[in-house]
Amino acid sequence: MNSATVLDVVSVFFAGLLAGMEFVIHYGLRGPSEVLDERAQLQLRQALVLRLRVLVPAFFVPTALLAIAATVLDGAAPGLWLRGAGLLAVLIWSVIRVIGTIPINSATLTWQLSAPPKNWKALVNHAERFHDVGVWAAVFAFACFLSALALKLTAS
């Protein structure tokens, strides 16, 4: 296996971790957390934000950088359009995070558990609409990078 293929595999690995993490957080934690009382919901949100503000960049940054490097190194190898679509999905994911979820997550950390903003649920629900798109952008990016790698390997 050459270095470009190894880079592709590692890129797919990180993209898969990012997509999996996004999917589980959004669809695995969102619903069950809503059965908690308000204080417990806020406490859980704050704890998650504190952990995820480290974990998400730890998976996103390698995903983006490795995908860019793999796309450049692979050049016109089979799957170029899939790698391009995957990069576009990663860009969409990052824009969604910057405009839609980072502001609410940062605000959440400042909320007092005993006296949150009266409209905190509306604010969270607004951010979740962005998260809906972000999750599927991450999943789409993973699928594109995986498909591009499969095309490249079958062409070899």
Q: What is the pLDDT of residues 107-155, one digit of tens each?
A: 999 999 999 999 999 999 999 899 999 999 999 999 999 999 999 999 8
Containing structural domain, residue 72:
3-155
Q: For residue 125, what are its two tokens?
A: 């629900």
Q: For residue 94, what are its two tokens?
A: 């990052």
pLDDT tens, 78-115? 889 999 999 999 999 999 999 999 999 999 999 999 99
Q: Is 62 helix (H, G, I), strand (E, B) or coil?
A: helix
Strand pairing partners for 115?
Answer: 112
Q: Is 114 helix (H, G, I), strand (E, B) or coil?
A: coil
Rounded distance, CA 59 to CA 14, Å? 6
Rounded distance, CA 29 to CA 21, Å? 11
Domain count, the chain: 1
